[in-house]
Amino acid sequence: MGNSASGLNLQTGGQKALILCFCAAMIEGFDIQAAGVAAPKLGPALGLAPGQMAFFFSSATFGLIFGAIAGGRIADRFGRRAGLSLSLLAFGIFSLGTAFADSFSTLALMRFLTGVGLGGALPNLVAIASEALTRERRGMAVGLMYAGIPIGGAVASAVSILGIHDSWESIFVIGGILPIALVPVLLLSLPDLKVARDHGEKPSIRAACRSIFGPSNWQTTLLLWAGFFFSLLVLYLLLNWLPALMVAKGFSKYDAGVVQIVFNIGGAVGSLMVGRALDGIHRRRAVILSYGLLVLALVSVAVLPNNLAMAIVSGVLLGATIIGVQAILYGLAPQNYSQDVRGTAVGLAVAAGRLGSVAGPLLAGALVAGGKSSTEVLLGIVPIAILGGLASLLLVSRLAKAQNAGNRDAAAEYGSAAEVKGGAVGT
């Protein structure tokens, strides 16, 4: 396993790197939900039909898939700082482009390209966060970084329910200026985290794929992909449909917006708590508890009476658990691969998960169109959440076995060296 050419720790910039990653993640979280905030004013302004609005929403999601693959590869080929800066610059420029779109085709293209930039940022953020601190604190680092995404989403939701945006364009202008402004700060403050390689060898896509899908890793890779797919399916179904499902249960749009905000705030707390748990010795318990509480939260929201206080409590629990299980997967992903393929591997896993983010809203739409109630929709995704939990639990078990084997090998090597040294002294 390679080492970073400029490995970070708390003394040489780890804290600064995490703060920058957190800020970038907040901006990403805001931009991801910008379309939903702008939609009520954007649709009428451009005269978009419901089908065109649906395509507008899905354009960014498809862009996220391609961006995750490209961003992960750039991280391994040119360094984490370059990959993150290019991604931020891309989704900043195209978010601004979205604000100036005057036709449906231009709007969809700009949103797709924004998604490419958004997708490219996340593998780089995960790689930087996981390498910012020591191995024993990687879970906490990734959890802290990922907490920025729901906080950014909460800001976007607050803008929506308070109506403080003058026009639909203003949301995309803000979402474009912020990442572009952060790029110079990253270039000046973040170390150039290029991957050190033995014998100066250049990275190869074929070599990376051999490592990711090789005999020792293919099962881990498939489990990681399954975990991401099922978990992101549930997450994006909730992000897109939770307000509508709440309104269908008798809540006002304002109350549904409040629940969406506390959902995101709970997500940030859940990400931090799970990140710390991943660095402890009870990882399996953390996974079982997180997914168990997720199932409980889904059921509680499904049977929720029309009571705002109870809805807020359920929203916090739901956000903490569904975002928390994302933090589990993002925290585990970089620990399963060597540093020289880490960005590529995480990018591919994120891309696989994005297929779930496409499937989730489509599944909810199909269930609602088929006459299913809000309760039935929410209960219907419980088995999907359980499948994600099983994949994550198996992943944790495999990682624990691999790390225990590595510790035994290191101890055996140390013991052999000690015997040799002792023999030399004896002679």
**Average pLDDT of the chain to the nearest whole number:** 83
Say if CB 148 and CB 330 are below 8 A apart.
no
Instruction: Evaluate whether residue 7 is within a structural domain.
Output: no
Instruction: Evaluate whether residue 292 is within a structural domain.
Output: yes
Compute the chain's Rg from CA coordinates. 22
Across 103-107, 214-218, 321-325, 387-391, least confident range:
214-218
Across 185-194, 280-289, 379-388, least confident range:
185-194
Asked if residue 18 has pLDDT above 60, the reply is: yes
Asked if residue 343 has pLDDT above 80, the reply is: yes
Say if CB 129 and CB 145 are below 8 A apart.
yes
Instruction: Evaluate whether residue 2 is within a structural domain.
Output: no
Asked if residue 406 has pLDDT above 80, the reply is: no
| Residue 251 main-chain phi, psi, to 5 deg | -80, 155
| Residue 375 main-chain phi, psi, to 5 deg | -60, -45
Instruction: Evaluate whether residue 207 is within a structural domain.
Output: no
Q: How many domains does the chain have?
A: 1
Q: What is the CATH number of the domain that holds 77?
A: 1.20.1250.20
Return the pLDDT at 309.
92
Q: DSSP letters of 273-325? A: HHHHHHTSS-HHHHHHHHHHHHHHHHHHHHT--S-HHHHHHHHHHHHHHHHHH
Confidence bin at 372 (pLDDT 50/70/90)? confident
| Structural domain for 88, as ranges | 14-195+215-421
Return the pLDDT at 4.
41
Dihedral sign for Cα atoms in the order 230, 384, 335, 207: negative
Tokens of 142: 């990734």
Q: How many angstroms separate the Cα of 174 from the Cα of each of 31, 84, 155?
A: 9, 19, 12
Say if CB 151 and CB 268 are below 8 A apart.
yes
Within a 10 A sphere around the Cβ of 420, how many other Cβ atoms?
Answer: 10
The angle formed by the CA atoms of residues 256, 232 and 250, to the nearest 5 degrees, is 20
| Residue 193 main-chain phi, psi, to 5 deg | -85, 65
Asked if residue 215 has pLDDT above 60, the reply is: yes
Instruction: Evaluate whether residue 66 is within a structural domain.
Output: yes
Three-state DSSP state, 166: coil
Instruction: Evaluate whether residue 248 is within a structural domain.
Output: yes
Instruction: Evaluate whether residue 237 is within a structural domain.
Output: yes
Nearest CA among 324, 319, 210 for reference residue 259 = 319
Return the pLDDT at 66.
92
Return the pLDDT at 279.
77
- The tens digit of pLDDT for each residue in 137-165 reads 777 888 889 899 999 988 887 887 776 66
Asked if residue 47 has pLDDT above 70, the reply is: yes
Asked if residue 373 has pLDDT above 80, the reply is: yes
Q: What is the helix (H) or strand (E) element at residue 244, kind and residue range?
A: helix 218-248
